[in-house]
Amino acid sequence: MTQIKGKTVLITGGAAGIGKLMGKKLIQKGASKLVIWDINPEFLKQATDELHCKNCKVFPYLIDVSDTSGIIATAKKVRDEVGEVDILINNAGVVVGKNFKDHSHHDIDFTMQINASAVMHVTLEFLPGMIAKGEGHIVNIASAAGLLANPKMSVYVGSKWGVTGWSESLRIELEQLNRNLHVTTVNPSYIDTGMFAGVKTHPFLPILKPEKVVNSIIRAIEKDKLFVRTPYLVKWIPFVRGVLPPRIFDWFAGDILNVYKSMAGFAGHEDYIQSKK
């Protein structure tokens, strides 16, 4: 069981959306230090002011996690100024909702770097401290898109499949050390944070409320759960994909659950659109 009370937590993309909400919940659970990494200076200041309280000190760091050298330098600052991290939540992410043929090379590099490579680089910086202490918990926010294909988000899907596979491999490696080291892989469907504005889903795969997802993640940390897969139908995706022939699965996911049409009305995340102008 992972204890949250008195621990130091670092959340990437922690100044808005479920990142900020996770920070708030972890403070309520007794975390003593909250380290927030974010690329948006305005959101970072707002989150720091909002979350700072007498029982928890908040440490904000302005960082672009697509910059590996920046990750290394900022991680050193965290270790020097805050100390080692007990709970690491790799939450930062982006999406480009286009058919693959319409992507630029920048779209590909940007998405893969933030959604996949940065997760590994950040973890590599803080994992040695956890191993030295013999305890720690790493939470990797992947996606239900890390379990099945979806048109108009091919690069995003590729990045989340990568995170899912890497996260599971890391979990097994750390379990082989026989220490109090844990990895939780999170595969939610669409979350109502604005990142997937315009998507349409089937009632069996509803757009998720952020607080419900965050509560599931916090419980998973406390109980050392291996996965958070939500809503319930997401839990069955690996099994169903494994037993159904590909064309039958395409019919089920595409025509029955409308997964393959869910991005048809995608409007894009405002912050990402602004960054591209």
Q: DSSP per residue over 81-102, as a string?
A: HT---SEEEE-------S-GGG
Residue 3 lies in a domain: no
Tens of pLDDT, residue by residue over 137-146, are 999 999 999 9
In CATH, what number is assigned to the domain containing residue 100?
3.40.50.720
* Domain with 82 in it: 8-276
Catalytic residue among 61, 156, 260, 272: 156
Residue 1 lies in a domain: no
Strand ranges (E), the chain: 8-12, 33-38, 57-62, 87-90, 135-141, 180-188, 227-230
Residue 62 lies in a domain: yes
Q: In this predicted structure, what is the pLDDT of residue 271? A: 46
CB 217 within 8 A of CB 19: no
- What are the tokens at 98? 């286009």
- What are the tokens at 36? 């927030």
Which residues, 6+ apart, have CB-to-CB distance to 112 below 8 Å?
155, 158, 159, 162
pTM higher than 0.85 for the full model?
Answer: yes
- What are the tokens at 148? 């099945």
Residue 104 lies in a domain: yes
Residue 81 lies in a domain: yes
Nearest Cα to Cα of residue 16 among 164, 195, 136: 195
At residue 207, the 3 state secondary structure works out as: coil
Regions of the chain with pLDDT less than 50: 270-277
Number of domains in the chain: 1
- Going edge to edge, which strands form the sheet with 8-12? 57-62, 33-38, 8-12, 87-90, 135-141, 180-188, 227-230
Alpha helices in 54-188 (DSSP H): 68-81, 105-112, 118-133, 154-175
Q: In this predicted structure, what is the pLDDT of residue 40? A: 97
Q: How far apart are CA 87 and CA 231, in angstroms?
A: 24
Residue 53 lies in a domain: yes
Q: In this predicted structure, what is the pLDDT of residue 268? A: 67
Q: How far apart are CA 125 and CA 165, in angstroms?
A: 19
Q: In this predicted structure, what is the pLDDT of residue 204? A: 86
CB 35 within 8 A of CB 87: no
Residue 191 has φ and ψ, to the nearest 5°, of -110, 140
Q: In this predicted structure, what is the pLDDT of residue 91? A: 98
Q: In this predicted structure, what is the pLDDT of residue 277? A: 25
Q: Is there a catalytic annotation at residue 156?
A: yes
Which residues, 6+ apart, have CB-to-CB distance to 251 below 8 Å?
none
Q: How far apart are CA 277 and CA 274, in angstroms?
A: 5
Residue 101 lies in a domain: yes
Amino acid at 264: A
Q: In this predicted structure, what is the pLDDT of residue 269? A: 57
Residue 34 lies in a domain: yes
